[in-house]
Chains A and B, each alone.
Chain A
Amino acid sequence: MQTVIKHQWIYEQSPNEVWEYLTQSELIALWLMPNNFKAVVGHEFDFRTNPIPSLGLSGIFYCKVLEIVPLKKLTYSWKGGPSNGITTLDTIVEWTLEQQENGTILNLKHSGFKDENYSILTGMTDGWQKNIQKMLKYLNKSNNGNTNS
């Protein structure tokens, strides 16, 4: 079960330029979402988008700046849920920048998809096969079992 999202992109621009687009509220809004970000450790902010009912998310992501290493690393928490006060998504977004000859390598790590919801899933990966076997056993014992299941 995958619990971390990782992406790497290479931009032609310098780390300095890319950093501005990661840390200035109005520049972040141009490519990500409207927000009230400030590059201050401990600052609490949110990202706002349309609700995503299929995922049980209100469209507001509650975040807090956790770490800043200028031009190199930025980390914030990323929480969401069906409505204010209920957190079902509790994750961490980590950006790291590496300078290369003609630009910047930007790494994104979105982790923490491993709360209680997912520990059920993890427990299931080996439990699943066993359950199917058990279910088949019960079904075979019974003449009026539902074989669609």
Chain B
Amino acid sequence: MATPTLDTFQVIADPSRRRILHLLTKDSYNINSLAENFEMSRPAVSKHISILQTAGFITINEIGRERYCTLNQNGFIELRNWISYFDKFWTSKLKKLEATLNKKTKN
């Protein structure tokens, strides 16, 4: 099954995927042991894992026959970009307010 390409926030919007990430902050899991934490089928869990991997939130390492999931920083860096975006956004807007106010004063 093809893995849909989702943006960071769609990836995080799903409660099961958030739970997978929470579990991985505590320990590294193979896919079976992750699936044990969920009511849904193993293929369904696999699909979520695949989405998380595509979005850069987790890395899968094959160790022997097992596939272990660990957190990957890339996906999280994108979340941090949000704050940095609005930080710059407000700086530019406040500057623009200054220019607008000054223009008005001159008129």
Where the two chains meet, the residues of A that have a C-beta atom closer than 8 Å to any C-beta of B are 1-3, 5, 7, 9, 11-13, 17-18, 21, 30-32, 52-56, 81-82, 86, 88-89, 106, 108, 110, 113, 116-118, 120-121, 123-124, 127-128, 131, 134-135, 138-139, 141-142, 144-146, 149
**With contact pairs A31-B97, A127-B25, A127-B26 given, residues A5 and B90 touching in the complex (Cβ less than 8 Å):** yes
**With contact pairs A88-B12, A123-B22 given, residues A56 and B7 touching in the complex (Cβ less than 8 Å):** yes
Expressed in whole angstroms, the minimum distance between the Cβ of B86 and any Cβ of chain A is 6
Expressed in whole angstroms, the minimum distance between the Cβ of B59 and any Cβ of chain A is 5
Residue of B nearest to A4 (CB): B83
Kindly list chain A residues whose C-beta atoms are within 8 Å of the C-beta of B68: 138
Interface residues on B, range: 35 or more
Interface SS of chain B: helix, strand, loop or mixed? helix
Q: Cβ of A56 and Cβ of B90 under 8 Å apart? A: no
Q: Cβ of A131 and Cβ of B28 under 8 Å apart? A: yes
- In-complex Cβ contact of B12 among A2, A117, A142 (8 A): A117
**Roughly how many angstroms separate A53 CA and B99 CA in the complex, as a whole number?**
29
* Interface: B34 (CB within 8 A): no
**Roughly how many angstroms separate A134 CA and B28 CA in the complex, as a whole number?**
7
* Interface: B45 (CB within 8 A): no
Q: Cβ of B7 and Cβ of A146 under 8 Å apart? A: no
**Roughly how many angstroms separate A146 CA and B98 CA in the complex, as a whole number?**
53
Kindly list chain A residues whose C-beta atoms are within 8 Å of the C-beta of B81: 54-55
**Roughly how many angstroms separate A134 CA and B3 CA in the complex, as a whole number?**
28
